[in-house]
Structure 1
Amino acid sequence: MNWTDPAAIGYPAVFGGVLLGSIIPIVPTGAVVGAAAAVATTTDHLSLPLVILLSVLGAYLGDVVTFGIPRLGSEAAFRWISRRQPAERLERARDQFTRRGWQLVVIGRLVPAGRIPVLLAAAALSYPWRRLLPAALVACVLWATAYALLGILSGGIFDSPLIATLLATVLVLLVTVALNLIARWRRKTKERV
C-alpha cells in the first residue's frame, strides 16, 4: 500500500469512519462524508461515486450491527427497554413499527440522534430483518447522498480542497444543529398541546 497516495488513506478513512460512527457515535459521520465529497469535488485524489458507495456501505453495515446486537438478544433488550417505559407507550411503539416501520427507519437515519433510538427500539420490538434490511439500505443511500451534496456544494464554491473540506464540515454541523433545534421545538410544541 502506498501511504503517500491520498486514495490509500481516504477510502479506508471514509468507510472506517462511517462504519465506526454508525456503531459507536463518536465520529461525526456526516462530516466524514461531506469532507470526502468536498475533496473528491476539488481534486482527483478521490472518486465521488466511490466515496458515496463506501459511505453507504459503512453506514449500512453499522446500522445492521446496531440493530443486530440487541435483536439477537431481543428478549433481554425488550426487558431492559420495558423497565423504563409504560406498557401503553411500548404498545404504541410496536403499533407504529407494524404500520410504518420502514418510514421510522428511514427518518431515524436522516434525523440527527434519531438512528440509534429507532434501531434499538426496532430490535427490542422484534422488527423483522426482512423489513429492516431494505429500509436501512434506502435510508443509508439517502443519508450518504444528502451529506455528499453538502460536500459537493462546498467543493463547487471553493477550489481549495482544504477550504472546501472545512466548509463541508461546517455545513454538516450547521444542518445537524438546525435539525436538532427544529426537533426540540417540535417536541416542546407537542408537550404544550
Structure 2
Amino acid sequence: MTLGLGGLASLFCAVAFGAVLPIVPTGAAVGGAAALAAHGNPVMVLFVVLTGALGAYLGDLVTYAACRWGGEALARRMRWLRGNERLDRLGAELKSREVPVLLVSRLLPGGRIPMLLAASVIGVTWRTFLYANAPACALWSAVYTGVGLLGGTVFPRPWEGVVAAIVLVVVVTQVAGWVHRRREASA
C-alpha cells in the first residue's frame, strides 16, 4: 500500500474542502497520508506537506472570500464575535502581527475561521492575507505531517501506521482545543 498521485489529489481535495466546511478532519487526513507515504516512499512525505499546505491555502482563500462577502452581518449571525470588544481585540492583534496571529489561529482547533472572519471584518487586505496565510498553511501541514510520521513509524504495517496517525492527530487536536478553551475561559 503506497500513496500515489491519486492519493495526493484526494488529500488536496479533502483538505481544501475541509478548510471551507470544517466537517472533514483535515489534520487527520494529512497525518494519515504522511504515515502512508513514509511506509511506501519517504520522499512522498515532502509532497504530503506541500499538498496539504496547498489544499489548506486554497480552502482558506475561499473561506476568506466568503467572510469578506458576508462581513460583519455573518460574524454576528454566527455568534463567533459576540460584542465589539472581542472583535477589537482580534483586530488589534491582527494589525500588529498578521503572520504570527494567522500561524497560531491555523494551529488551534476552532481558531482559524473566527480569525478569518475577524480579519475580513476589520479590513485586512487581500495582499496582506495572501502573504500572511501562506506560512500558516505550510506550518500547519508540516505539524500534522510530523504527527502522522510519529504515529506511522511505530507500526510495521502501513494500515496500522495510518490508524495510529489518525488517532494521534485526533488526540493532539482535542487536547489543544481543550487547553485553548481553558485559557479563553480564564481570560
* Alignment CA distance shift 1:159-1:69 (3 Å): same
Task: Using the aligned pairs only, state the percent identity.
Answer: 38
Q: 1:70 aligns to what? A: 67
Q: 1:93 aligns to what? A: 90
Work out whether 1:174 is the aligned partner of 2:171.
yes
Q: 1:32 aligns to what? A: 29
Q: 2:38 aligns to what? A: 41
Work out whether 1:23 is the aligned partner of 2:17.
no
How do 1:30-179 and structure 2 match up within 5 A?
30-44=27-41, 47-71=44-68, 73=69, 76-81=70-75, 85-179=82-176
Partner Cα separation in structure 1 for residue 98 and residue 29 of structure 2: 28
Shift in Å, 1:93: 3.2
Structure 1 window deviating more from structure 2 (20-29 vs 128-137): it is: 128-137
* Alignment CA distance shift 1:88-1:110 (3 Å): closer
Runs of 5+ unmatched residues, structure 1: none
C-alpha contact (below 8 Å) 1:35/1:151 kept by paired residues: yes
- State how many pairs are aligned: 184
Partner Cα separation in structure 1 for residue 43 and residue 167 of structure 2: 20
Q: Secondary structure at the match of 2:4?
A: helix
C-alpha contact (below 8 Å) 1:82/1:90 kept by paired residues: no
C-alpha contact (below 8 Å) 1:35/1:169 kept by paired residues: yes
C-alpha contact (below 8 Å) 1:105/1:139 kept by paired residues: yes
C-alpha contact (below 8 Å) 1:7/1:45 kept by paired residues: no
Q: 2:6 aligns to what? A: 9
C-alpha contact (below 8 Å) 2:106/2:137 kept by paired residues: yes
Shift in Å, 1:82: 5.5
Shift in Å, 1:189: 2.0
Tell me which amino acid in the other structure corresponds to 1:142.
L
Aligned-residue CA RMSD in angstroms? Answer: 2.2
Partner Cα separation in structure 2 for residue 164 and residue 100 of structure 1: 38
Q: Secondary structure at the match of 1:159?
A: coil
The structure whose Rg is larger is 1
Tell me which amino acid in the other structure corresponds to 2:23.
I
Residues 95-140 of structure 1: CA distance to partner in whole angstroms, max 9, x if unpaired?
Answer: 2222123222111101011111111111121111222112211001
TM-score (norm 1): 0.86
How do 1:177-192 and structure 2 match up within 5 A?
177-190=174-187
C-alpha contact (below 8 Å) 2:94/2:101 kept by paired residues: yes
Tell me which amino acid in the other structure corresponds to 1:49.
L
TM-score (norm 2): 0.89
Tell me which amino acid in the other structure corresponds to 2:71.
A
